[in-house]
Amino acid sequence: MTNPLLAAWTGPFGLPPFDAISDAGFAPAMEQALAEDLAEVRAVAEDAAPPSFANTIEGLMRCGAALDRVTGVFFNLAGSDSTPKREELMREFSPKLAAHSAEIYGNARLFARIRAVWEAREGLDLSPEQARVLMLVHRNFVRAGAALEGADAARMKAIKERLARLGTAFTHNLLADERDWAMDLAEPDLEGLPGFVVANARAAGQERGAEGPVVTLSRSLIVPFLQFSPRRDLRERAYKAWVARGANGGETDNRAIAAEILALRQERAKLLGYPDFAAYKLETEMAGTLAKVRDLLMAVWAPAKARAEADAQVLQDRMQADGVNGALEPWDWRYYAEKRRKAEHDLDEAALKPYLQLDRMIEAAFDCANRLFGLEFRALDVPLYHPDARAWEVTRGGEHLAVFIGDYFARGSKRSGAWCSAMRMQRKFPDVQRPVVVNVCNFAKGVPALLSYDDARTLFHEFGHALHQMLSDVTYEMVAGTSVARDFVELPSQLYEHWLEVPEVLRAFATHVETGAAMPQAMLDKVLEAANFDQGFQTVEYVASALVDLAFHEGAAPGDPMARQAEVLGELGMPHAIGMRHATPHFAHVFAGDGYSSGYYSYMWSEVMDADAFAAFEEAGGAFDPAMAEKLERHILSAGGSAEAEALYLAFRGRMPGVEALLKGRGLAA
């Protein structure tokens, strides 16, 4: 019987045949796909013809079709619907894929051909996109160690394989800690909790086979519990479990793994001639240097910390008015901040949630995309990988552009957080291929599902990434969609969040779950007034994490990352009642892979641009100005990584922004 992972996918839109794919098929498919890719790459390396862009660079672009299909499906499933078998396969595949990559990047004959094309580039009459692709291929090989020889080359290969194993182990340990912990709630423990929190706790208990409601470490459940539970003892217990993920001792402890990852990254950078990993990593980013990143973060840290300290005193006073003595603790902040928000803005999240139905927020995201870019969305009835997932065909003017898959609900088999990925990327070479894009979130499941305002913002954020993929219009997959500098990739996603706050969008789509009535104008005004509420807290917890990430990768690797984390927070004067958004043992952005290592700052770097970019719409004809939408699509969303990020932004805006727009946007300007 033919393995469906390797056969041609002839179903609707060339989607993976999820109903025919089984875990048993992944290992043999991966083995065959790896072998095919290697054979194809070797054929390019051993071509007898003189090296050219067509036979070498485009030759590489023709390689690995089967591998792309297998990995595209497997890694989406491993993150969003894990099983013990898939976790076992992850541990098996990660070092194999690292070794495979090392073999390709270590192919001396191949690198010699790439270098020959690179050195002849001035006389090749390449298009701007081809010149960009050639530069990226050459740079990737150099940065991967292709120019290394002998013992250095062998050591680089070993480092990459070990890092792949460690990143997988870090992820699995975190998933295990999140999956295994739950706090049972007796009926009296539910007092003071809004109905939606109680319903979500009961649903979580049911999913886990518990006798009653539970609190889990899913952000969509634990954050509202910390916001609303009047039981300080239960808040403390839940908070301590949440921040202890990856640091509970035993087999799932991530602290030693983090230390080894940092040491290996530093060694890797030194082998390539960089002073440290931060210098290596930032070389290809918009920021370019660690000094520029630190300048940005510290420009935001000072006003954010001042705001947070002032807010802490207000919350402390509220706590003491409740008869609670002692210091304001991290498990107190959200509870008293919610009380303050209700008092100062008369905004009750429990009253707001019925207006934020998941289905209506999806419609809102789609409608904004229609008004800005002419996109239309048609629900599809096709087999998918999980009953919770749903799919839409995306068209414009009757032309097929993409398939969009939304997987919105939290479950034990899904890693925490929210993300966008592509099972298939856009390209025009060597064949025309339209993308299959996936948004994964962890919202609490209800009938109907109701979101917090933060959840709704997350939905818009991830859909902004999806638009970057769906509107991609380049020739080569290597520069398609979100294949851009890490500190540029968050621009489309963070920019799209602004449309959630456009009053006419909320008026049209924030409708009551029972009555269908639009959100009252008074509540809408309060929502928009409160948009910057608690920004001191939110900014401090984020910037602290970004600065710790930088410190980990600057200079010598810390032997004890936890001690280094404490040292950095001490130097910053981290407010006592605020924790890092992601402490080291569960900092998956930084340790699950290289993606955001020395790059967690990139959300804020992009935010400087997104605040300025939305201001461009406001300065023109408003949020749906067609001329600005066309410029945004042409210069950023459709361009992918076909040019330098700064050049793309300048083409859109005409200038680079300063930090002032960000401070104003967060309500932190003096």
291 CB burial (10 A radius; 0-12, 13-18, 19+): exposed
Contact status, residue 605 vs residue 290, Cβ threshold 8 Å: no
From the candidates 462, 497, 607, 633, give the one annotated as an active-site residue.
462
| DSSP class of 275 | S
HEC assignment per residue over 231-246: CHHHHHHHHHHHHCCC
Respond yes or no on whether the N-terminal peptide bond of residue 448 is cis (omega within 30° of 0).
yes
CA distance 85 to 98: 20
Task: Please list, in sequence order, all residues whose beta carbon lies within 8 angstroms of the beta carbon of residue 305, skipping any fewer than 6 positions away.
Answer: 536, 540, 572, 573, 575
Name the strands in the sheet holding 419-424, side by side, starting at the edge strand that comes first in the sequence.
376-380, 390-396, 399-409, 436-443, 419-424
The amino acid at 351: A
Is the CB of residue 536 less than 8 Å from the CB of residue 307?
yes
Integer angstrom CA distances of residue 383 from 300, 335, 425, 556: 47, 42, 20, 50
- Rounded Cα gap, residues 101 and 602, in angstroms: 26
Q: How far is CA 539 from the centre of its chain?
A: 18
> How far apart are alpha carbons 499 and 625 in whole angstroms?
12
CA dist., res. 382 & res. 359, Å (int): 19
Torsion of CA 185, 187, 189, 195, to 10 degrees: 100
Q: Do residues 110 and 44 lie in contact, with contact meaning Cβ atoms separated by under 8 Å?
A: yes
Q: How many CB atoms lie within 10 A of CB 232?
A: 15
For residues 128-138, one letter each, b for 16 or more C-beta atoms within 10 angstroms of the residue's C-beta and e for the rest, the string is ebbbbbbebbb
Give me the residue label for tokens 């706050």.
Answer: 501
Query: Does residue 594 contact residue 261 with C-beta atoms inside 8 Å?
Result: no
462 belongs to the catalytic site: yes
d(CA 464, CA 459) in angstroms, rounded, equals 9
CB 38 within 8 A of CB 64: no
Cite the beta strand spans of 201-311 per DSSP E.
214-216
The residues annotated as belonging to the active site are 462
